[in-house]
Amino acid sequence: MEVRRRSDDSGSEIEVDITDSETWDHKYTMYKLVIRRYSQSWFVYRRYSEFYRLNEQLKKLVAMESHKLPGKRMWGNLDPEFVRSRQLGLEEFARGLVTDERTRTLTIVQEFLQLHHRSSDSDENLTDDSAPSSGDETSDDDVRHIDPAFTREKVPSSVGRSTIGRSGSTLSQRSIDRYFIGFSYDPDCDLHDGD
């Protein structure tokens, strides 16, 4: 297996917290990872099995003792006390990945935390250039990591604001709608105010 790394100046700007866990379909638990880098913040949902697979890949790629991953359990995985304990262990594991220079820049870690989809600068505005390409595994129709409470949360005005893209043109309402397929949103700003 080839070790691929992405450039990253320092892990000190990356913070990871697991803020929530939810049982889905009465079968498994999803953990909500909130990642902050520079002035950006986003979240992804991950199952324990995804953490486990990542850890197994890391053992093969990096000649080191792996970061401590909470153990498996045959029965009682949905017990609230066990879920909370596992959540704390997974949070410690994820924080270790971003603070360890040997793992932070690995492509598999960056993909796991979706660091590769985020710009390292502070520009959080949507531009036509930021849309995923059709060959990318993440597309406009990808809803695997959507927070079920999303539609109950207020969308920040910066998300819906029309901005000038790199090409010098403003985003159209149609371009903005592409980012919100399947969701209703009501930005609290005029989309064509040119801010």
Average pLDDT, integer, range 12-22: 91
Could you give the domains of the chain?
A: 11-117 (3.30.1520.10), 126-195 (no CATH)
Encode pLDDT of 159-184 as tens digits: 444 344 444 445 555 555 555 555 55
Q: What share of the chain is helix, strand, coil (3-state, %, to 5)?
A: 35, 15, 50
Give me 44's structure tokens: 């992804």
Average pLDDT, integer, range 12-21: 90
Q: So what's the pLDDT on residue 182? A: 52
Q: So what's the pLDDT on residue 187? A: 47
Encode pLDDT of 69-128 as tens digits: 998 888 888 999 999 999 999 999 999 999 998 899 999 999 999 987 765 443 343 333
- In sequence order, the β-bridge partners of residue 130 are none
| Distance, CA of 195 to CA of 151 (rounded, Å) | 25
| Distance, CA of 89 to CA of 70 (rounded, Å) | 5
Q: Within 10 Å of residue 98's Cβ, how many Cβ atoms?
A: 22
Output the CA torsion sign for 80, 81, 82, 84.
positive
Q: So what's the pLDDT on residue 118? A: 63
Encode pLDDT of 22-62 as tens digits: 999 989 999 999 999 988 999 999 999 999 999 999 988 88
Q: So what's the pLDDT on residue 53? A: 95
Whole-model pTM: value is: 0.57
